[in-house]
């Protein structure tokens, strides 16, 4: 597939518990279709989509991962170099929300500090069976520095908005010098990282400090929990 010359190539990763709708969301965005009976994802599927954001050609390389524990070792290798993480849960299954902490730990340990994150409550067409309130989910997202979206992969509601908003944030940061691209081949996947210390702004410094603090706290707690003394 030929991509526009000079396009920014960004890696996205979609994570979350099994059956919350990761594959359905990714396919809705890339193919504008809903498959009611898609086979479960085995390890990772990467799909590419070219878009234009902020008058800039961007190619997204979206890694759709398997949610099961037994595939985690493989999926973990896809976090590194991701410009954005889309963390999905199912608003009709409270357990998929309760387990978000496990995924957050992976995000904190495996992504660059500059990576942008969205929390997505999916299956909004099944509002009547909702087990996670909008307020509860949004509070969790704010606490963990993520943008919260509610989507339906089935109807398509808000799905494009997730991917386009994240891309927009990244492109603005790249253009503003707050994030820099690592790697410069226009036909290869470009890894994105933080800009040099000189051009970081104060808000981002605060975000990073906060994320580092949370990461340290979580690791400390994990160590305490696993200590039998
Ligand atoms: P994954 O394991 O997270 O990739 O989940 P899938 O994308 O395979 O979806 C699991 C099941 O939920 C499938 O039967 C999908 O058809 C269904 N599903 C996914 N998204 C939605 C949605 O927005 N609304 C409804 N009603 N069903 C959905
Ligand atoms: Mg899947």
Each residue of 134-175: pLDDT tens digit?
Answer: 999 999 999 999 999 999 999 999 999 999 999 999 999 888
How close is the Cα of 144 to the center of ligand 1, in Å? 25
pLDDT at 214 over 70: no
The predicted model scores a pTM of 0.84
Architecture of domain 8-228: 3-Layer(aba) Sandwich (3.40)
Residue 60: per-residue pLDDT: 94
Each residue of 58-110: pLDDT tens digit?
Answer: 999 999 999 787 787 888 888 988 899 999 999 999 999 999 999 999 999 99
Residue with the smallest CA separation from ligand 1 atom 11 is 19
Ligand 1 pocket, mutate which of 15, 16, 21, 67 (most atoms under 8 A from CB):
21
Question: Is the CB of residue 132 below 6 angstroms from any atom belonging to ligand 1?
Answer: no
DSSP string, the chain: ----TTPEEEEEEEEESTTSSHHHHHHHHHHS---TTPPPPPSEEEEEEEEEETTEEEEEEEEEE--SGGGHHHHHTTTTT-SEEEEEEETT-HHHHHTHHHHHHHHHHHS-TT-EEEEEEE-GGGGGG--S-HHHHHHHHHHTT-EEEE--TTT-TTHHHHHHHHHHHHHHHHHTTSEEEE---TTSPPEEEE--GGG--HHHHHHHHHHHHHHHHHHHHHHHHH---
């Amino acid at each position: 597939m030929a991509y526009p010359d000079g396009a920014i190539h960004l890696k996205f990763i979609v994570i979350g518990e099994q059956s919350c709708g990761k594959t359905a969301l990714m396919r809705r965005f890339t193919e504008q279709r809903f498959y009611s009976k898609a086979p479960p994802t085995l390890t990772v599927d990467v799909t590419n989509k070219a878009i234009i954001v902020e008058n800039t050609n961007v190619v997204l390389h979206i890694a759709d991962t398997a949610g099961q524990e037994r595939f985690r070792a493989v999926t973990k290798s896809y976090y590194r170099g991701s410009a954005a993480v889309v963390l999905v849960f199912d608003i009709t299954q409270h357990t998929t929300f309760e387990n978000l902490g496990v995924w957050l730990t992976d995000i904190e340990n495996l992504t660059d500090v500059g990576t942008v994150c969205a929390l997505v409550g999916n299956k909004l067409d099944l509002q009547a069976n909702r087990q996670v309130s909008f307020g509860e989910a949004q509070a969790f997202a704010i606490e963990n520095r993520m943008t919260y979206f509610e989507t339906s992969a089935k109807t398509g509601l808000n799905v494009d908005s997730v991917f386009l908003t994240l891309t927009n944030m990244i492109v603005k940061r790249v253009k503003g010098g707050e994030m820099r691209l690592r790697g410069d081949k226009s036909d290869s996947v470009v890894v994105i990282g933080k800009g040099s210390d000189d051009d970081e702004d104060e808000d981002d410094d605060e975000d990073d400090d906060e994320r580092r603090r949370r990461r340290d706290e979580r690791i400390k707690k994990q160590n305490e929990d696993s200590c039998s003394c």
